[in-house]
Structure 1
Amino acid sequence: MRYRFYLLGIGFLLAACNNGDNTKSSKASDSLAIREKYAVSPVLDAKTAISHMEVEKGLEVQLVAAEPLVTVPVAMTFDEKGRMWVVEMTGYMPDTVGTGEDVPNGKIVILEDTDHDGVADKREVFLDSLVLPRAISLVENGILIAEPPKLWFVEINNDKPGKRTLVDDKYTEGGNVEHQPNGLLRAMDNWIYNAKSDKRYRKVGGKWLKEETHFRGQWGITQDNYGRLFYNNNSENVLGDYFPAGLGAHNQQQKNVSGYDEKIVPDTRVYPSRATTGVNRGYMKNVLDDSLRLRNMTAACGPLVYRGGLLGKPYDNNIFVAEPSGNLIKRNLVKDSGYIVKGKQAYAGHEFLASTDERFRPVSLYDGPDGAMYIVDMYRGIIQHKTYLTPYLKSEIRSRQLTNPLNCGRIYRVVPAGQKPVPVLIENEPNKLLALLDHPNGWVRDKAQQMIIDHHYTSLAPALKERLQRKDSLNGQIHALWTLEGLGALQLADVMVLLHQSNPYAQVQGLAALPAVLTPANGAEVLKELAAMEKNVFLAPYVALLLPAFPPQLQKEVDMLQTQLMERYANDPYVADAIISRMAGKETALLQQLTAWNADSTLVLHKHLKTVLKDIENRKKASVNESLQKTYPRGTVLFKTVCQTCHGADGDGIQSLAPPLNQSEVVTGDKHRLASIVLFGLTGPVTVAGKQYKAPEISGDMPGIGSNDEFSDKDIAEVLSFIRGAWSNHASKVTEKDIQDVRKQYKGRQKSFTMEELK
């Protein structure tokens, strides 16, 4: 009854504020009725929960595992036996203040379907006592495990953990649970890629390699049949790469490289099946529609390029995205136009899968060995991390008792209605693995490739080379190519087989594999091939991206080819950025060469070069010295855990996420205005250094941290003083009293500011 009177109070307040506007009064009344309808959020058993889901006609959702067999799952992978290795993040947000979040209660468990009825019935704990584990990947005789801040490789001995090897002691640096690297995707090119990260990893012999790559995404990462990577962030539908993942990241001064981190599906509209008032900013205008349903993505994650084959041809290569705040899974259709990939939502007005159960929290999606689409459901009330939890959402959580229970979790699969598909069990026999490289299920092809490499089946090299010659299936050719690369058996003659095909997608795979076979002895021959290819508009960006891979002995010849590319494609952003990527440390010389050839400052290459040179100059001035960190130790820590993950360690912002802090008038201007933004948040466009940043270029909202009890006013003053003095900023410090004054001025405020208000 107390809740009912509370709702009635809201209704009367809204009516009073409407000043006699009958339309607004009606909307308030409608909102009240909707809130009453969803006033409770009961915990449903897994089978009942399925009855609350609506999935695309002709398909059905089947239960694979539920509590107590699995609890709080966030990621998983399959082994060749069809077993699920699942990450359980048990410590995530036990309550609204994150009590006990650092308790080592996370686990890696193995789930198995022993009676082959499609439902897991056996649970075995592989590893426990982990703090917030977040990603895994099976490699050779072991498993990679991401447990911030470290990345471990743990050998597997009869399903028991063996020797541990520390692969990276700085897998995550800074950030909170929502903003730390994850994914560990074993991609087509045999490297392991991550979301929310610019690192990739690979095991060669007994050594782990780590390389810099493009920064990508936030939670979850996936690949298509060509090995192109796709990802997103919480307010973006689908982002991705047009070009091979391992190219184009050679110049650390170059923040953005065209063709990487591109918006594939810019439409972020969502269509929940129920009122979704329990979102962090549900109190803000236009976050919810008139039916109190989420309008746009706010927790998009776990993207999947569906390659399973089971659901039917219309679903092949569709990109699915989980949205746990909206209790739904979105379907997107994508297609190529040349090398550019663009897409659109599959439906207007409804979703591929949506539930009326508020606790349905899909966070990761996977292809399975049976061809089905697998859904990892945390099944819980709280999914927003404490760092950004608003008072509004805390109230929502209290009113519907969303904190408990904490011991639920489900894994589902989507299959054609009435079917009970069985997994492909992969036998560890070389010739059978070879045959599976042509299987219609992309997961099976990937696993076969990985097993051939993991077991070092070099005896298959002749058969793989023979498979390369057959043009009946491009998928099989591609896997044969990269299997050879993974075995260390790939030769230039093999790559030439693909380069000389008429299919441009085959040629692209050959180009992507060239760095693995380039030597001083064969480089001149390869350059002749590329010089002929660069005249092809489709292939030119790939040629330009490959230039840094050539050995130093051929730099003169590479320079000549680069000049041809520059003079032919100076207005092509993809070629231009590829050239700049090669010229790290030589940007001024490149600008001089360009100007001598053509002084037109409107050329894309000229404009992009000037941007990079400006960034270089800014960074020279932008050293965060040790004395600043000593002066503001707590501010330094908060910057790394709260600010850096979106605004970048150099304060220059991150594409698709947030604008710069360095040389920002918002940061260096009125300190009370800055404090207001950090305490209460900012929504809508913001102008920094003459450039307006707004959605969808970046996330349209910055959450406030003023309601987070973890941060004292002194802490917040320190982090603001830190960013106002860091890099090229030289503004005055912020005091604890400044923060207190702003709190008093806006006492009772919940909603974020707009820049217009703060003027």
Structure 2
Amino acid sequence: MSYRFYLLAAALWLTACHDEKKDPAGNRPDSLAIREKYATSPVLDAKTAITHMEVEKGLEVQLVASEPLVVVPVAMTFDEKGRMWVVEMTGYMPDTSGTGEDAPNGKVVILEDTNQDGVADKRTVFLDSLVLPRAVCLVENGVLLAEPPKLWFIERQGDKAGKRTLVDNKYTEGGNVEHQPNGLLRAMDNWIYNAKSDKRYRKSGNKWLKEDTHFRGQWGITQDNYGRLYYNNNSENVLGDYFLPGLGVHNPDQKRVAGYDEKIVPDTRVYSARANTGVNRGYMKNTLDDSLRLRNMTAACGPLVYRGAQLGKEYDNNVFVAEPSANLVKRNILQDSGYIVKGKQAYAHKEFLASTDERFRPVSLYDGPDGAMYVLDMYRGIIQHKTYLTPYLKKEIRSRNLTNPINCGRIYRIAPAGSKLKPVVIENHPQQLLALLDHSNGWVRDKAQQLIVDNHYTSLTPALKERLRHTDSVKGAIHALWTLEGLGTLQYADIQLLLQQNNPYLQAEAFAALPSVITPVNAKEVLAAVAALRENVFLAPYVARLLHTFPPFLGKEVNTLEMELAGRYANDPFVADAIISHAAGKEDELLKQLKEWKTDTTQVLYKHLEKVREDIKHRRMASMNASLEKTYPRGAILFKTVCQTCHGADGEGIQSLAPPLNQSGVVTGDKRRLTAIVLYGLTGPVEVNGKVYKAPEISGDMPGIGSNDEFSDADIAEVLSFIRGAWNNHAAKVTEKDIQDVRKQYKGRQKSFTMEELK
């Protein structure tokens, strides 16, 4: 077959996959010309790759490191010397089958610029022989490292690894490479938060603390100048929290808490600089536009709230998002009311940074000690994990030889054009660190706070308390507050200063820090002060979120305050969910009280409470599935690896990702229909329990696994039988023959189904 004939066949095949009747672009020759233009995907050296990038006017992309100094970088952090601690996920997808993915070839390396020219020139291997490492964080004298399924703390002996301490042996329980916890963001409140996780960590003396928190995101997590967290998932631009991260997570049966996991920027449109035929769903109608460019995000990740103060004031507090499938970095502008945060894309029909190089794969973004923005580029062809790799994408990979090479990687900085930024030199001296809490660069402020806490510089306590009195500089005052909290020297009198301010940001920080200073001695005084602020509409959600922090002997007073909040703010979703959070284990009592009041059943508090009570029933049913795991052992494993990451362990779905499997007619109905969905995927709206789920409430697409050689038909039959019998589901099992029959029925099919087709 001639090469041109192959291109024509490929173009016609793409057209057929878009629509069996006609090409949505309506112009086949143009599609062919575009495919010819991008028929090859040359491997570019790092400096040449920069010439293929277009960045916002007035800025430039500068090379910091490239192979062989760095290989497949996926995460990093800076130390106080300005050195980069980089996680290399060398084993990720060596080919389309993931051959050798479990090889222990991952590393944590230290990259250093020894001659101060802005380019790294020294590589030190801190730790090697790792299997798919994914996150790193510097704490005290060591390194917190995520290597699935475990989270380790590794002491530093100079630049070499020392003693290991196991922090969590189930850090990444279940899931696959694309759907496992990561991030390890050391946030302003001194806790370490993660994406794709509902756990947070903190070192306290020689012990590691682990607590529940809100479930957040998929890959990457960042914070703003007030310590609020932002994240996303592959098909969402920016998600985030309106409130400080440690509040409102007291009730384990409450799956959704208003004010958390909110859609900050719902617009997911992307404007690529090149055709993006090499995406997993490129064959599907409306995935690509007429020029074969991606329409919407499919691999959004690595968000960053830019706080570096060097790019220009217009960029401060913007949220940047990496999109490796579209070879770009997006800019979003936040609109912050001090209560609710919303945002919008910075541009229409263009991007902050876009490349015509298909192998440019930005996956993580960071502020640096020099105030620049740092971009980690895996620089490779394959980014889709094997679990969801479609036959279409496999062909794309083969046609342009995207499998090789797999030993590249780049780190770039984005800085003002022509600039030679210098990192802030941080001397580990108490007085200098204190001064740096007011630095314009958010990374510097964060690092100064962390060093004070890590070195237990309690001698700074008087100066930090004095700094709280000067609230004209809000950022410095907030860092002083949390530095005191991290040192364990914060007192209620310090927080009172901020509660009395008229600045809502300072008051919010004070509320978030209150749990660390409440004692049996001052609890009654604190409760009275908190209750006095209940009529402030802005502060009422914070008041409600603190109810569970008071000791039991104040139960009567706390209940009185709770009922007053319930009566006054029953239609406020933030207060309502905070009240339900406090009512953990006592939901029936709260409902009884509402009924005695003859509460309107249409009010938010009533409806949300009923939803939680229903979830409790489902969770009880989930605990009865132990026998199912024995009946379908392989199915249970596949559920945890493939299904649970989006649909939840209890089958009740996960906000922004996927709808429920529990009591879903799609699951318990015609098993041929369910089999077809799992084999080939589902796109568009789906109705579950009388509710229609569609984007942007959930991801609009569920990938099929029928083309994954890792799963046999017997395996797929087991996992379908497992979910059809789990929780409140009681449907007949699926056999291997059932799977084979559906494959025969739809032999040659590539594209996902819609529910309309399956009816």
Q: TM-score range by the shorter chain?
A: over 0.9
Post-superposition shift, 1:755? 0.4
Looking at structure 2, the residues matched to 652 and 132 of structure 1 have their Cα atoms a distance apart, in angstroms, of: 29
Looking at structure 2, the residues matched to 608 and 120 of structure 1 have their Cα atoms a distance apart, in angstroms, of: 53
Conservation of the 8 A alpha-carbon contact between 1:14 and 1:25: no
Post-superposition shift, 1:622? 3.4
Deviations 1:356-379 (A, max 9, x none): 000000000000000000000000
Matched residue SS, 1:374: strand
Post-superposition shift, 1:4? 2.2
Post-superposition shift, 1:15? 8.6
Partner in structure 2 of residue 434 of structure 1: 434
Looking at structure 1, the residues matched to 19 and 565 of structure 2 have their Cα atoms a distance apart, in angstroms, of: 66
Post-superposition shift, 1:343? 0.3
Amino acid paired to 2:629: Q
Conservation of the 8 A alpha-carbon contact between 2:17 and 2:750: no
Looking at structure 2, the residues matched to 590 and 191 of structure 1 have their Cα atoms a distance apart, in angstroms, of: 32
Looking at structure 2, the residues matched to 607 and 637 of structure 1 have their Cα atoms a distance apart, in angstroms, of: 35
Partner in structure 1 of residue 695 of structure 2: 695
Looking at structure 2, the residues matched to 201 and 81 of structure 1 have their Cα atoms a distance apart, in angstroms, of: 25
Post-superposition shift, 1:263? 0.3
Partner in structure 1 of residue 591 of structure 2: 591
Looking at structure 1, the residues matched to 16 and 136 of structure 2 have their Cα atoms a distance apart, in angstroms, of: 54
Matched residue SS, 1:201: strand
Post-superposition shift, 1:19? 13
Deviations 1:382-430 (A, max 9, x none): 0000000000000000000000001100000000000010101210000
CA, structure 1 residues 106+14, in 2 after alignment: closer, same or farther (shift >3 Å)?
closer
CA, structure 1 residues 23+179, in 2 after alignment: closer, same or farther (shift >3 Å)?
closer
Deviations 1:521-545 (A, max 9, x none): 1111112211221111111111111
Identity %: 79
1:303 matches 2:311: no
Structure 1 unpaired stretches of 5+: none
Post-superposition shift, 1:714? 0.4
C-alpha RMSD of matched pairs (Å)? 1.5
Partner in structure 1 of residue 125 of structure 2: 125
Partner in structure 1 of residue 223 of structure 2: 223
Conservation of the 8 A alpha-carbon contact between 1:14 and 1:28: no
Partner in structure 2 of residue 211 of structure 1: 211
Partner in structure 2 of residue 144 of structure 1: 144
1:563 matches 2:563: yes
Partner in structure 2 of residue 365 of structure 1: 365
Looking at structure 2, the residues matched to 130 and 140 of structure 1 have their Cα atoms a distance apart, in angstroms, of: 22
Conservation of the 8 A alpha-carbon contact between 1:229 and 1:245: yes
Following superposition of structure 1 onto structure 2, how do residues 387-398 of structure 1 map, counting pairs within 5 Å?
Answer: 387-398=387-398
Post-superposition shift, 1:12? 5.7
CA, structure 1 residues 180+23, in 2 after alignment: closer, same or farther (shift >3 Å)?
closer
1:530 matches 2:530: yes
Partner in structure 2 of residue 332 of structure 1: 332
Looking at structure 1, the residues matched to 203 and 673 of structure 2 have their Cα atoms a distance apart, in angstroms, of: 49
Looking at structure 2, the residues matched to 529 and 382 of structure 1 have their Cα atoms a distance apart, in angstroms, of: 57
CA, structure 1 residues 14+424, in 2 after alignment: closer, same or farther (shift >3 Å)?
closer
Post-superposition shift, 1:672? 0.6
CA, structure 1 residues 598+371, in 2 after alignment: closer, same or farther (shift >3 Å)?
same
Post-superposition shift, 1:278? 0.3
Partner in structure 2 of residue 287 of structure 1: 287
CA, structure 1 residues 13+177, in 2 after alignment: closer, same or farther (shift >3 Å)?
closer
TM superposition score normalised by structure 1? 0.98
Deviations 1:541-565 (A, max 9, x none): 1111111111112111111111111
TM superposition score normalised by structure 2? 0.98
Looking at structure 2, the residues matched to 15 and 634 of structure 1 have their Cα atoms a distance apart, in angstroms, of: 38
Matched residue SS, 2:27: helix
Partner in structure 1 of residue 250 of structure 2: 250
Following superposition of structure 1 onto structure 2, how do residues 156-555 of structure 1 map, counting pairs within 5 Å?
Answer: 156-555=156-555
Partner in structure 1 of residue 30 of structure 2: 30
Post-superposition shift, 1:623? 3.0
Partner in structure 1 of residue 740 of structure 2: 740
Matched residue SS, 2:532: helix
CA, structure 1 residues 14+507, in 2 after alignment: closer, same or farther (shift >3 Å)?
closer
CA, structure 1 residues 129+25, in 2 after alignment: closer, same or farther (shift >3 Å)?
closer
Provide the aligned length of Structure 1 versus Structure 2: 759
CA, structure 1 residues 751+463, in 2 after alignment: closer, same or farther (shift >3 Å)?
same
Post-superposition shift, 1:24? 6.5
Partner in structure 2 of residue 41 of structure 1: 41
Looking at structure 1, the residues matched to 218 and 619 of structure 2 have their Cα atoms a distance apart, in angstroms, of: 25
Post-superposition shift, 1:26? 5.2
Deviations 1:144-166 (A, max 9, x none): 00000000000001111111000
Post-superposition shift, 1:53? 0.3
Conservation of the 8 A alpha-carbon contact between 1:623 and 1:726: no
Conservation of the 8 A alpha-carbon contact between 2:713 and 2:736: yes
Looking at structure 1, the residues matched to 653 and 144 of structure 2 have their Cα atoms a distance apart, in angstroms, of: 30
Amino acid paired to 1:259: G
CA, structure 1 residues 18+329, in 2 after alignment: closer, same or farther (shift >3 Å)?
closer
Looking at structure 1, the residues matched to 98 and 408 of structure 2 have their Cα atoms a distance apart, in angstroms, of: 17
Looking at structure 2, the residues matched to 44 and 68 of structure 1 have their Cα atoms a distance apart, in angstroms, of: 14
Conservation of the 8 A alpha-carbon contact between 1:18 and 1:25: no
Amino acid paired to 1:488: G
Looking at structure 2, the residues matched to 20 and 496 of structure 1 have their Cα atoms a distance apart, in angstroms, of: 68
1:70 matches 2:32: no
Looking at structure 2, the residues matched to 555 and 11 of structure 1 have their Cα atoms a distance apart, in angstroms, of: 70
Looking at structure 2, the residues matched to 23 and 265 of structure 1 have their Cα atoms a distance apart, in angstroms, of: 31
CA, structure 1 residues 423+30, in 2 after alignment: closer, same or farther (shift >3 Å)?
same
Amino acid paired to 1:472: D
Structure 2 unpaired stretches of 5+: none
Conservation of the 8 A alpha-carbon contact between 1:88 and 1:133: yes
Post-superposition shift, 1:329? 0.3
Post-superposition shift, 1:617? 2.0
Conservation of the 8 A alpha-carbon contact between 1:3 and 1:399: no
Following superposition of structure 1 onto structure 2, how do residues 61-140 of structure 1 map, counting pairs within 5 Å?
Answer: 61-140=61-140
Post-superposition shift, 1:598? 3.3
CA, structure 1 residues 71+151, in 2 after alignment: closer, same or farther (shift >3 Å)?
same
CA, structure 1 residues 111+18, in 2 after alignment: closer, same or farther (shift >3 Å)?
closer
CA, structure 1 residues 66+19, in 2 after alignment: closer, same or farther (shift >3 Å)?
closer
Looking at structure 1, the residues matched to 126 and 670 of structure 2 have their Cα atoms a distance apart, in angstroms, of: 54
Looking at structure 2, the residues matched to 18 and 512 of structure 1 have their Cα atoms a distance apart, in angstroms, of: 51
